[in-house]
Every structure is written in C-alpha cells, then in structure tokens.
Chains A and B, each alone.
Chain A
Amino acid sequence: MKTPIYFDNHATTPLDPRVLQAMLPYFTEKFGNAASRNHAFGWESEQAVDRARKQIADVIGANPKEIVFTSGATESDNLAIKGVAEMYAEKGNHIITPATEHKAILDTCKKLEKHGYRVTYLPLKADGLIDLDQLRDSITDKTILVSVMYANNEIGVIQPVAEIGKMCHERGVLFHTDGVQAFGKVPVNVIKDNIDMMSLTAHKIYGPKGVGALYVRRRNPRVQLTAQMDGGGHERGMRSGTLNTTGIVGFGEAAAICQREMAEESKRLSYLRDKLKDTLQRELDEVFINGTMDHRLPNNLNMSFAYVEGESLLMGINDIAVSSGSACTSATLEPSYVLKALGVGDDLAHTSIRFGLGRFNTEEEVDYVAARVIETVRKLRELSPLYEMAKEGIDLSQVAWAAEPTH
C-alpha cells in the first residue's frame, strides 16, 4: 500500500489507464478539427466525437444529438441557467434552486438576480432531501426553471429527481439537474427521471479534466437555449468553439467503462464505505453522519467528529487526502454552507470530514484510513476542552462563550 492515500474522489478522480489509452492517438496522429468537413482528418475526428457522444448519451438514456460538449460542468451549469433565463425571459423571470447547490449554480443565479431575475433558494430537510411540498408551493406562473442537483457533492444525498421533474413538467417548467456526482455512479435515465437538462463532467468519472457536457432535451419538451459563447455555431449553435476531440474521446471511454462496471463497482464501493462507517462508529463515541444513508451515493461518507476541529484532524491524517467542512479549510473562512442548510450547527460543521471513495481504493486502504482517523480523533479529544467539558456533563449549548462577536 502506497501513501498518500486518495479519498477525495468527489473533488476529482485519477484518469483510468484505459481512458488514457483511448485518448493517446488523438493527441498526435489523429489531430483533425471535428468541424473540418472536407478532408479525412476532420472526418476521423468527427467520427471519434460522435462515438463519444453516443457512449455518454447511452449512460443516461439520451439521444446522442442531445449531448452538447463544453469545457466542464461549471460551463454546463452556466449555459443551462443563463441560456434558459435569456431564451425564456418573456415567459417568466423566476428560478428555483436549493441552497445546497454547487457554487456554479448559486453564483450563476446570484448574477441573474442582478439582472432582474428572481431566485428562490430552497432550504433542505435535515436528512438532506428536498421538501417536495415546499417546491410545489414555490412554483409560480413566472417560474421558468428549477435546478436541483442529482446527488450532492458534500453529503452524497440523492434527490427524488423523477418526482421533481414530474412536478416541473406538470407546471410547464423546465428542469435542470447538476448530474456531476451521480453520472456514471448510479443509474440515471433522462426520460424516466423527467430531466430536461443535465450537467456532466469527465474528471469525476476517471476521465480527463477540462471536458464536460450538457444534456439538452430535444422533444417533450424541446429545450431551447441562448448560446453563451458565440462563434462558429458548433454543437447545434448552443456552444461554439473547436471541440476538444482528445478530451471528448476520453470522456466517452470513461462513460462507457462506468456503464459497463457500474453495478459491480457500486456494490464494491458501498461495501468499503459501509465498512469505514461501521468501524468509525464502533470505535468512536459522538460521531454523527451528515445526510441520510438511505438515498446516497455508494462512495460517499460525511461525518462529524464532535469536539475535534476538522482542519486539525486533516493535519493529523496528513497522509490521507479528504475534505473538511471546517471554516479553516474553506476559502471563505465559513463552515460548510451545505451542512448549514441541513441545520447542522456550526460547531458540528467545523468537525466534519468528507470521505470520497473511488475505483482505485482498496480494502487495505479503508482499514488504514479508519485506524488513522480513530487514533487522531482520540488524540485530539485528549487535547479538546470541549470533550473534557462534555465528559463532565456540561451542556455546551448553555455555556456563555467569550468569543469576539465579529469573529
């Protein structure tokens, strides 16, 4: 077993060597521009792109023509939301999205608010699931778009996407989902799930960085988007720019591998994840799971280790790559807004760790990670005045803390 160990597969994944093999010829000898219609170099690249388009479409039950290639999911999210907002501006100006979305959604919505759009940010239930009644009540005749991520990147909770989509369609509202974490990990079908647009990316499924896609439904309803990138009219006019053939080939191959191996991989990862969870729960007191375990990605575990600050825990397990919801590890110096939206207190958000397992993790690694976390949490609790107080029976919520109010 080699260290450091990578347990941060929600952030990105290593490239599968099989994907690299598929990509290699497209760096050098097969370099044509897929938009070159009048010579063999162009045809060769176009063929490769079309093959990848089908490989990706097949994973989500879509038609290859409905796949629009982009530079990644952030661009896909921008294209979906801004593209719909602009195209359907005459129909309405209202967008609904949960407060726990990725920043690519939230920041895009905030930008639109400055241009006269109205956005409703839905809170989530304590288990991380959307409240369908609340969503229903939020839809007005001005609503043009609902955007709800398929599975959350921090807590891995999978939303009732089919029901959300159904509700949207009944009210004539378009439904977009950020499918980055779910794509290739759990079965997705855009028809059964009533999805109109779905953002995808290659680098979360063992493909290369810098390539993504937006699924855009062509019928029932036919979704129209205002392009956000003007140029040669590539990708049915929705996204101009020479296609990243090499990246797209890798994306397609990565998608095909996921589709072939999903059932087996998902079983293996949920076994490893559950072993990690069970070991930590057995060996440590006062640990809390964030988000429901009932509707969750097989590779995600998000846990709070009460009385142990997240960054100090990461420091103790410095040969393991994981993420924390602690303020100290975020750029904004605020604890995780996702956990906050679930009603997890700031005190517990500061102690949260996200474990993201992946294709190349082994059971030996899981055992090692569990042992290291247990050892470090115990050590840091010896150092923690809060753990001491809790053990003395003091109710920490009743203590008058001498903190600077601006802190």
Chain B
Amino acid sequence: MAYSEKVLDHYNNPRNVGSLDKSDPNVGTGMVGAPECGDVMKLQLKVNQSTGIIEDAKFKTFGCGSAIASSSLATEWLKGKTVDEALAIKNTEIVNELSLPPVKIHCSVLAEDAIKAAIGDYKKKQASRQTA
C-alpha cells in the first residue's frame, strides 16, 4: 500500500512521543485498542488549570504507520485547545488530513477514542478532587 506524504512524515518524525505523569491530577490518560487487534494507543494530555487550555500532549502507539500518524497528529491538534474544543475533534478530520484509505479509517477512530478516553480520565480526576 502506498502511504500519503503526511502519514510518512508523522511516521518518520512522530510528534510528541513520550509519557506524562499519570498521577498528576491535571493529566488525563487514555489507552485504547488491544495487542490482539494489532493496535494500542496511549494518549495523554495536561490541562493548565488557570487557562483551561491543554498545554501538553504525548502519545505512544503500537500499530501500523497510519495508527502512529493518527495519534501523532492528534497530539498536535490537542495542544492549545480547551477540553471542550478537544472533545469536538472528529475522526473524519484525521482521515482527511492524513488522506487515510478506507481500510485505515479504524486508525482514526481509535485516535478519536483515545482523545475521549484521555479527557474522560482527566474529568474524572477533577471531579474526585472537587468532592474530596
């Protein structure tokens, strides 16, 4: 299969690879997929409490080139957005940006799921902090 220029670029120069401190209350972690399915994405974001803006995002992905590119792109897009803006990111936007073929659409779905899971985790932490 031929990959798009943008997929190749993200694969060769993945942005924001790494991990944030899971125990930080301002960090949300999302892990989606399964090794048996051939892809696992871990996506983390850190929210600045005074501005409400995502100031950092990191990822690690086990998966094909399109899965790596989708999650790398997601971290790029997350930075500078509010949590609500981040929740509005749709997998179809990732498909368009990376020119993913139909067989790779599930990679973009997984990236959207990872964003939602990370924000869900962040919100849960915030809620439990408020009730504490």
Contacts and interface: CB of A to CB of B under 8 A. Distances in A.
Interface residues of A, number: 28
Contacts of A388: 19, 42, 60
A386 B11 contact: no
Contacts of A403: 32-34, 36-37
Given A383-B14, A385-B41, A407-B106, A401 B64 contact: no
Interface string A374-393: 00000000111111100000
A154 interface: no
B30 to A, nearest CB: 9
Contact of B31 (A312, A326, A346, A385): A385
B106 to A, nearest CB: 7
A307 interface: yes
B39 interface: yes
A382 B60 CA distance: 8
A386 B34 CA distance: 10
| Number of chain B interface residues as a range | 20 to 34
Contact of B35 (A311, A316, A396): A396
6 contacts: A309-B38, A346-B35, A383-B17, A383-B61, A402-B113, A407-B37
Nearest to B36: A346
A387 B108 CA distance: 22
Interface of B: 3, 11, 14, 17, 19, 31-42, 60-65, 67-68, 103, 106, 113, 117
Contacts of B36: 345-347, 350, 401, 403
B11 A384 contact: no
The 6 A-B residue pairs whose C-beta atoms are closest, nearest first, are: A401-B34, A403-B34, A347-B35, A385-B42, A385-B60, A346-B36
Contacts of A383: 14, 17, 60-62, 68
Mostly helix, strand, loop or mixed at chain B's interface?
Answer: mixed
A312 B37 contact: no
B23 to A, nearest CB: 14
Contacts of A335: 38
A310 B89 CA distance: 29
A309 B33 CA distance: 13
A22 interface: no
Nearest to A402: B32
A386 B68 CA distance: 14
Interface string A307-341: 11101100110000000001110000101000000
A403 B114 CA distance: 11
A394 to B, nearest CB: 11
B17 to A, nearest CB: 6
A387 B32 CA distance: 15
Nearest to B60: A385
B35 A386 contact: yes
Contacts of B34: 401-403, 407
A307 B38 CA distance: 10
Given A308-B62, A326-B38, A401-B35, A382 B3 contact: no
A200 to B, nearest CB: 32
A402 B120 CA distance: 13
